[in-house]
Amino acid sequence: MLLAVLEQAEDRPPKDGRVYLTQDLMRRFRRLFGKHSLPGDWCQPGPPFFHLRTACFWQLVPRLGREDHLRAMTTSGGGTRSIRENIECAQLSKEMQAALSDRAAREVLREAILRLLRDDGR
């Protein structure tokens, strides 16, 4: 998912540091997933979008009235329906916003992620 966000930032950095689970982001995710996945991996953009909430730079923003439900969620449920119903977007930290706005920083992040994938056998 981060590779897809980085790629999308090449075209347009997230406005106000917000990342939305759009068709464009999911298309990029699926293409990159096909390139870097292992046999048996499931191509589901919802779970990585949701589980990035554990990263210090990615905070999920609930839809209005869905705050309690989002707090109670422990999984995305596999698909994107639950995300669309409960999550407006992900809010990036100011540091990540700055990194996504800088071409050199994006490249450093991309290389670090690709190195981790290679180390994982991908």
Residue 122 is predicted with a pLDDT of: 67
C-alpha span between 78 and 47 (Å, rounded):
6
Q: Which residue has the higher pLDDT, 15 or 84?
A: 84
Residue 86, helix vs strand vs coil: helix
C-alpha span between 96 and 28 (Å, rounded):
19
**Of 66, 69, 58, 70, which Cα lies nearest the Cα of 97?**
58
Average pLDDT, the chain: 94
Q: Work out the pLDDT band at 42, boundaries 50, 70, 90.
A: very high
Does residue 61 carry a pLDDT above 90? yes
Q: Which domain holds residue 19?
A: 2-119
Domain count for the chain, please give it.
Answer: 1
Q: Give percent of the chain with pLDDT exceeding 90.
A: 89
Comparing 31-40, 55-64, 69-78, which segment has the lowest mean pLDDT?
A: 69-78
**Of 49, 48, 35, which Cα lies nearest the Cα of 114?**
35
pTM value is 0.91
Give the length of the chain. 122
Residue 40 is predicted with a pLDDT of: 92
Q: Give percent of the chain with pLDDT exceeding 70.
A: 98
Q: What are phi and psi of 61, to 5 degrees?
A: -105, 115
Q: pLDDT for 95-104, tens place per residue?
A: 999 999 999 9
C-alpha span between 28 and 1 (Å, rounded):
9
Per-residue pLDDT, averaged over 47-69, amounts to 97
Contact by Cβ (8 Å): 97, 27: no
